[in-house]
């Protein structure tokens, strides 16, 4: 049931007002990272390793520095030493130390009076390399004889005897797996692989950094989290966090890839070396693909036991994931708990290793780990459903997790909406449309935990009765609108009277980034609490004016009212009337709330896709696509639908076309959008959405995060639809035309 | 006492126990008590953990309450996109 058909007591929540940033974005007035400029600004360029693995013998910048207009060069020697742990990883990734670890690894940076001059100067910086053996494939990286690319990378979790490239190990489960397999009518095991993909945000990384000799600095940057930028830059450069003020720009997509730093400290280091002149650094698309964080590549073994009636008796997975040349970057810790999260299965075993390889340092990408895990598990569920001629939705309803189920990763689910998504998908007209020749239908479900996190919000009442809300989570997918709606609903004022601003690091306490589908949930929850504080103060002001006790005042419809006949007869005092005289009744009125937000509600979704495959070319056309997902409460349904559609579009791209292609030399072969093929509008049909609302009891308006779950089911759903259309199962993404054509031919022979 | 479930690959640091009983009123006290009782768990705890207390995932809040009859699961620190 669509959110708009649900009857609630809300006046504003669930409506679809114009997006507050819409006019700015369609008129070009919105300022993105690369739009920012300052007087006297320099431009920077980065020298990157052309080798997948190489010792850096010598860096000679003398020719570059001799150019007129070149103001500074930085190398690793300019950065402080002594860092440890993830801070050292960040510094190692910002600028290579003794060794370049992947194709595109930054080796030096130069600042000059123009961008073209900086690029010319970068080409004049001479780097002498000693090329070392490399490995880029996840399975090859842990095969006997594979070069150990960094000694001592294993952490406490890795048992003795594993390959030197294994950085982490994890295992958990419950029940007797072998007994479960013995009780099954069929047991099937397969191996699935997914290639690394990039978030594909349209806006490349960009920043302007300024830092004086005194170590005090400022930065303007496109980011999902400017407090993370501040903390990470401070760590890499050895400065105090409070000495760096960071202001976020509008953001042209992030999807997890802008929750960390890549080149930002370089602009500050160059600025400091250039006498404090601001330095702008804008990545090219090629740099984005070569040197920022894609997601991990994965190789995954799955084994399932199933009875002929569809009951799943046991499951087992062994995942191998590489997240680049740095420990801790692959999402094994998320992929494993997500693998069977949609199911209530009595016996499960999960095992995973993280392997390092000569690839860029991976970053988060929308539900990190969950899409790969779903591709493996949901594909095998589909294979077994087809073998036993069972309806895939019925099988999921039979085995699906519900309220009170013990989750695959341990804790018991509270209130979840998976069953509702399955029932809605089953009832949707798309599920009954007859399929034609060369057409197939795929079904898959998906899960994401969602996240709360550190959050700080301030709300100020204006003299005219409007409200300004200051949040610290950059608006990627409509959170200013949804937070504005919640605040307006709480205050009882028009949505147009609330303005939500994303403010800089000096204006609020620490905020985690917009990640984990948390912005509308956590900043929204804090904003509602801030509004309630302001309401309490406005009730006190009215009570003082009326000469009654504050407890005898209630707030409704944007005004203070006497709470009952015993409170006295006074006309309502509106927020505008209270705001107009607040200077003379005690001073400014504001509310503030800061919290590490808990009470997140997990979000489940079910997707149904129909495809047609051209048997002559292997090209797959998506005919129709349905996303059904639990939003808890859809605050602004249009944005919720946009998140569902965006997640599906990215997942379809991952399923059909997107992949990092490395040559035998370890260099990325497709670092441009012409060769790294993300879906464009003409590739996709209108993506149908159904918003399920099973309110989250941990949020005042029932919100669940909606940003990430939507990318999880498309990978297995599309591959299963192709299997239905062709009889050929693709177990290694992407399902690109050559691969599909080869699978069709193999199935015929 | 709260029952803390360890994921399988942590159990070798706690004498093979799957469940460790801990007397604690908060998540922070629980983690400190775990490390005191089983120092081998220290690196895992220091690396960053999330926990689930009675079904609710606590990403990073040491002050979150733990009841005497709570069921706690240790989870890897979760990241999101």
The distance in angstroms from the start CA to the end CA of chain B is 36
Q: What is the pLDDT of residues B13-46, one digit of tens each?
A: 999 999 999 999 999 999 999 999 999 999 999 8
Q: How many residues does this entry show for chain B?
A: 81
Contact A601, A709 (CB under 8 A): no
Residue ranges of chain A that CATH labels 3.30.365.10: 369-450+600-748, 453-597
Percent of chain A with pLDDT strictly greater than 70: 99
**pLDDT value for A5:** 44
Q: Out of A225-234, A530-539, B71-80, pick the least confident.
A: B71-80
DSSP-based three-state secondary structure for A539: helix
Contact A184, A176 (CB under 8 A): no
Q: What is the pLDDT of residues A478-519, one digit of tens each?
A: 999 999 999 999 999 999 999 999 999 999 999 999 999 999
* Contact between chains at A598 and B64 (C-beta distance less than 8 A): yes
Q: What is the pLDDT of residues A45-95, one digit of tens each?
A: 999 999 999 999 999 999 999 999 999 999 999 999 999 999 999 999 999
Per-residue pLDDT for A283 more than 90? yes
CATH code at A369-450+600-748: 3.30.365.10
Among B57, B65, B77, B80, the strongest candidate for a mutation testing the A interface, having the largest count of A CBs within 10 A, is: B80
Smallest Cβ–Cβ distance between B7 and the set A170, A448, A518 belongs to A170
Per-residue pLDDT for A151 more than 60? yes
* Contact between chains at B56 and A599 (C-beta distance less than 8 A): yes
Contacts of A338 (CB under 8 A, 6+ apart): A367, A369, A370, A373, A374, A447, A448, A449, A712
Q: What is the pLDDT of residues A110-143, one digit of tens each?
A: 999 999 999 999 999 999 999 999 999 999 999 9
Per-residue pLDDT for A375 more than 50? yes
Query: What CATH fold (topology level) applies to the domain A453-597?
Result: Aldehyde Oxidoreductase; domain 4 (3.30.365)
Per-residue pLDDT for A536 more than 60? yes
Query: HSE (CB half, 13 Å, CA atoms) of A405?
Result: 21
Q: What is the pLDDT of residues A548-597, one digit of tens each?
A: 999 999 999 999 999 988 888 999 999 999 999 999 999 999 999 999 99
Q: What is the pLDDT of residues A181-214, one digit of tens each?
A: 999 999 999 999 999 999 999 999 999 999 998 8
Smallest Cβ–Cβ distance between B44 and the set A156, A449, A596 belongs to A156
Q: How confident is the model at residue A1 (pLDDT cuts 50, 70, 90)?
A: very low
**pLDDT value for A635:** 98
**pLDDT value for A749:** 81
Contact A253, A93 (CB under 8 A): no
* Contact between chains at A157 and B58 (C-beta distance less than 8 A): no
- Looking at per-residue pLDDT, the higher value among A215 and A732 belongs to A732
Percent of chain A with pLDDT strictly greater than 90: 97
> Quick one: tokens of A108?
């030096």
A599 touches chain B (CB under 8 A): yes
Per-residue pLDDT for B79 more than 80? no
A509 touches chain B (CB under 8 A): no
Among the listed residues A424, A347, A483, A417, the one whose alpha carbon sits nearest the alpha carbon of residue A608? A424
Mean pLDDT of A390-405: 98
A596 touches chain B (CB under 8 A): yes
> Quick one: tokens of A392?
């895939």
What ipTM score was computed for the predicted complex, to two decimals? Answer: 0.92
Contacts of A604 (CB under 8 A, 6+ apart): A342, A401, A416, A417, A418, A421, A445, A446, A447, A629, A630, A709
* Contact between chains at B78 and A516 (C-beta distance less than 8 A): yes
**pLDDT value for B78:** 80
* Contact between chains at B54 and A365 (C-beta distance less than 8 A): no
**pLDDT value for A597:** 93
Q: How far apart are the CA of A428 and the nearest CA of chain B, in angstroms?
A: 30
**pLDDT value for B76:** 84
**pLDDT value for B47:** 86
> Quick one: tokens of A80?
């402080």
Report angle CA A19, A23, A24 to the nearest 5 degrees.
110
Contacts of A327 in chain B (CB under 8 A): none
Domains by residue range for chain B, with CATH: 2-76 (3.10.20.30)
Q: How far apart are the CA of A406 and the nearest CA of chain B, in angstroms?
A: 9
Whether pTM exceeds 0.90: yes
CA distance B8 to B5: 9
Mean pLDDT of A517-546: 98
Report angle CA B23, B76, A175 to the nearest 5 degrees.
80
**pLDDT value for A3:** 41
CA distance A113 to A42: 5
Mean pLDDT of A98-113: 98
> Quick one: tokens of A3?
């959110």
**pLDDT value for B9:** 87
DSSP-based three-state secondary structure for A353: strand
Contact A267, A48 (CB under 8 A): no
- Chain A 99-138, residues with CB within 8 Å of chain B CB atoms: none
CA distance A418 to A409: 16
Q: How confident is the model at residue A361 (pLDDT cuts 50, 70, 90)?
A: very high
């Amino acid at each position: 049931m669509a959110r708009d058909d649900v009857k609630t007591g809300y006046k504003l929540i669930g409506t679809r007002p114009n997006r507050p940033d819409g006019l700015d974005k369609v008129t070009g007035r919105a300022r993105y990272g690369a739009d920012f400029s300052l007087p006297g600004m320099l431009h920077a360029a980065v020298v990157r390793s052309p080798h997948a693995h190489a010792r850096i013998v010598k860096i000679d910048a003398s020719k570059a520095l001799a150019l007129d207009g070149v103001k500074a060069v930085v190398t690793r020697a300019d950065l402080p030493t002594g860092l440890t742990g993830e801070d050292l990883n960040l510094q190692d990734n910002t600028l290579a130390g003794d060794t370049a670890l992947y194709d595109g690894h930054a080796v030096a940076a130069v600042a000059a009076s123009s961008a073209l001059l900086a690029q010319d100067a970068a080409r004049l910086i001479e780097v002498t390399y000693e090329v070392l053996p490399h490995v880029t494939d996840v399975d090859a990286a842990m095969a006997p004889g594979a070069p150990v690319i960094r000694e001592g990378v294993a952490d406490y979790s890795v048992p003795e005897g594993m390959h030197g490239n294994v950085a982490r190990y994890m295992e958990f489960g419950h029940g007797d797996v072998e007994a479960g397999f013995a009780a099954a009518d069929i047991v099937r095991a397969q191996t699935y692989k997914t290639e690394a993909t990039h978030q594909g945000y349209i806006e490349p990384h960009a920043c302007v950094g300024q830092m004086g000799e005194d170590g005090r600095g400022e930065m303007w940057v496109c980011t999902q989290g400017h407090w993370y930028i501040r903390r990470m830059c401070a760590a890499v450069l050895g400065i105090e966090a409070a000495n760096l003020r960071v202001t976020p720009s509008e953001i042209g997509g992030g999807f997890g890839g802008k929750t960390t730093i890549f080149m930002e400290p370089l602009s500050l280091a160059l600025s400091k070396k250039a006498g404090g002149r601001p330095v702008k650094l804008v990545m090219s698309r090629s740099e984005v693909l070569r040197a920022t964080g894609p997601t991990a590549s994965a190789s995954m073994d799955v084994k399932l036991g199933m009875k002929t009636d569809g009951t799943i008796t046991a499951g087992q997975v062994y995942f191998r994931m590489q997240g680049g040349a740095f420990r801790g970057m692959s999402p094994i810790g998320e992929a494993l708990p997500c693998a069977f999260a949609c199911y209530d299965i009595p016996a499960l075993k999960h095992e995973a290793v993280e392997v390092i390889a000569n690839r860029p340092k991976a970053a988060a990408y929308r539900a990190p780990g969950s899409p790969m895990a779903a591709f493996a598990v949901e594909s095998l569920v589909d294979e077994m459903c087809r073998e036993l001629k069972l309806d895939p939705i019925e099988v999921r309803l039979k085995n699906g997790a519900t309220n009170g189920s013990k989750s695959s990763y341990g804790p018991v689910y509270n209130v979840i909406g998976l069953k509702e998504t399955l029932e809605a998908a089953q009832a949707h007209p798309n599920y009954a449309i007859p399929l034609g020749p060369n057409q197939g239908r795929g079904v898959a479900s998906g899960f994401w935990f969602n996240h709360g996190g550190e959050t700080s919000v301030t709300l100020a009442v204006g003299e005219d009765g409007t409200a300004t809300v200051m949040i610290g989570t950059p608006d990627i997918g409509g959170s200013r609108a949804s937070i504005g709606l919640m605040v307006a609903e709480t205050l009882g004022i028009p949505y147009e009277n609330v303005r939500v601003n994303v403010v800089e690091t000096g204006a609020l306490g620490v905020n985690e980034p917009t990640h984990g589908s948390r912005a509308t949930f956590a900043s929204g929850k804090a904003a509602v609490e801030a509004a309630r504080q302001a309401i309490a103060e406005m009730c006190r002001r009215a009570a003082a004016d009326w000469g009654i006790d504050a407890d005898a005042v209630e707030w409704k419809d944007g005004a203070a009212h006497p709470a009952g006949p015993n409170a006295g007869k006074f006309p309502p005092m509106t927020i505008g009337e209270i705001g107009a005289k607040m200077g003379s009744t005690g001073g400014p009125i504001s509310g503030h709330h800061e919290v590490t937000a808990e009470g997140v509600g997990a979000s489940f979704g079910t997707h149904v896709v129909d495809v047609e495959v051209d048997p002559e070319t292997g090209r797959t056309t998506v005919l129709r696509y349905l996303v059904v997902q639990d939003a808890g409460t859809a605050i602004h349904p249009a944005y919720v639908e946009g998140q569902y559609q965006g997640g599906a579009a990215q997942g379809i791209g991952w399923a059909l076309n997107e992949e990092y292609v490395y040559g035998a030399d370890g260099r990325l072969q497709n670092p441009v959008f012409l060769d790294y093929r993300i879906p464009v509008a003409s590739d996709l049909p209108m993506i149908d959405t159904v918003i399920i609302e099973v309110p989250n009891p941990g949020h005042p308006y029932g919100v669940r995060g909606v940003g990430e779950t939507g990318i999880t089911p498309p990978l297995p759903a599309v591959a299963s639809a192709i299997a239905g259309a062709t009889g050929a199962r693709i177990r290694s993404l992407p399902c690109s035309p050559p691969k599909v054509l080869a699978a069709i031919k193999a199935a015929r022979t | 006492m709260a029952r803390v479930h360890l994921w399988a690959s942590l159990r070798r640091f706690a004498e093979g126990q799957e469940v460790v009983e801990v007397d604690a009123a908060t998540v922070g006290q629980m983690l400190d008590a775990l490390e005191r009782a089983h120092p081998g768990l220290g690196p895992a705890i220091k690396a960053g953990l999330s926990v689930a207390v009675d079904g609710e995932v606590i990403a990073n809040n040491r002050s979150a309450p733990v009841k005497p009859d709570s069921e706690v699961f240790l989870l890897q620190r979760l990241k999101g996109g």
